[in-house]
Homo-oligomer: A and B are copies of this chain.
Amino acid sequence: MQPRSIPLGSISESGSEERHERRDAAANRELLLQTAEVLFAQHGVENVSMADIAQAAGVGKGTLYRRFANKGELCLALMDAQLSDFQEAMLARMRQMVVDGESSMAQLDMFLDALVHFTAVHQPLLCEVQREGLFGNSTHLSLPHFWQHMTVSGLLQTAVLRQEISAELDIAYIADALLAPLKVDLFRFQREVRGFSVERISAGLRSLAASLKQVT
């Protein structure tokens, strides 16, 4: 629906230097996304290869790879709308909580809970996104992690200012550490092998965050 092509709603391409994408190419991108969505629904994300998608869409592999450098990018693009919605919803809720005079740590609690549920729902696609890793790969694959880190560390920073948590803490590190258990690998392991419920995971993670609260 949206004319934009770069995934992850926020941190938009600030309108300036728009990389030309021919109209037929944009159409192909849509075609590929829709094709992938159907195939994923039919056979499960992990059972569909890039070649499958290209073939089903009736284009060559080169075309597919020109639009999406790998399966992770494709999956991220498929979640673009939901990711934006999620971000927007979170910002709105956090703003409202500020208005209501709720603490930063309460906001963090809410955010983590929402993130756990988001992870649960989008597990299959997130799995592919994270398979590519956080590194040098295509920069924007790590944008979700980047945004989450910004959000969590922002809340923690505010919490320090409001003296809800100790000023001794290494905010940047703690933010990473609180997000680490949500990596899909571990999440799936906990769900499928350990048999943890989503609620249990949420409660556990929030209790860890909550433990930061007391004075150090």
Contacts and interface: CB of A to CB of B under 8 A. Distances in A.
Nearest to A207: B169
Contact of A183 (B170, B183, B211): B183
Copies in the complex: 2
A196 interface: yes
Q: How large is the interface on A (under 10, 10 to 19, 20 to 34, 35 or more residues)?
A: 35 or more
Contacts of A216: 207, 210-211, 214
A186 B183 contact: yes
A11 interface: no
A200 to B, nearest CB: 7
B135 A208 contact: no
A157 to B, nearest CB: 15
A3 B204 CA distance: 43
Interface in A159-176: 168-170, 172-174, 176
Q: What 4 A-B pairs come out closest when comparing CB atoms?
A: A173-B204, A214-B214, A180-B180, A134-B189
